[in-house]
Amino acid sequence: MAEILGRILDGALLVTDAEIRVAMRRLAFEAKIVAEPAGAAAFAAWTRYRETLTPPVVALVSGGNVDPGLFGEVTKG
C-alpha cells in the first residue's frame, strides 16, 4: 500500500492519537462540530504542522459517527 500511495501522493502528515483527541475537543467546543477520530485527523495535522505548510491548505473534517463513550471522554477534559 505504501508503494502505491508513494506514487500518487505528494506527502503525508502523521499525528498521534492524543493530538486527534485534542482536535476532536477543539472542534466540538470552538466550532461546534462533532467529528469522529479519523475525521478530526486532518485538523490535528493542520494544528501540528501549520507553521510549515505552504498555502493554500485545506483540512477536510468529516464524520459524526463517533462512539458516545469516546466523545464523552474527549469532551470531559
In the chain, the percentage of residues whose pLDDT exceeds 70 is: 99
Distance CA 71, CA 27 (A): 12
Rounded to 5°, the CA angle 22-31-53 comes to: 65
Higher per-residue pLDDT: 1 or 69: 69
Distance CA 77, CA 54 (A): 32
- The pLDDT of residue 77: 66
15-26 residue pLDDT tens: 999 999 999 999
- pTM summary value: 0.85
Supply the DSSP string of 14-29, one letter for each residue. ---HHHHHHHHHHHHH
Averaged pLDDT score across all residues of the chain? 92
pLDDT exceeds 70 at position 36? yes
Distance CA 14, CA 57 (A): 16
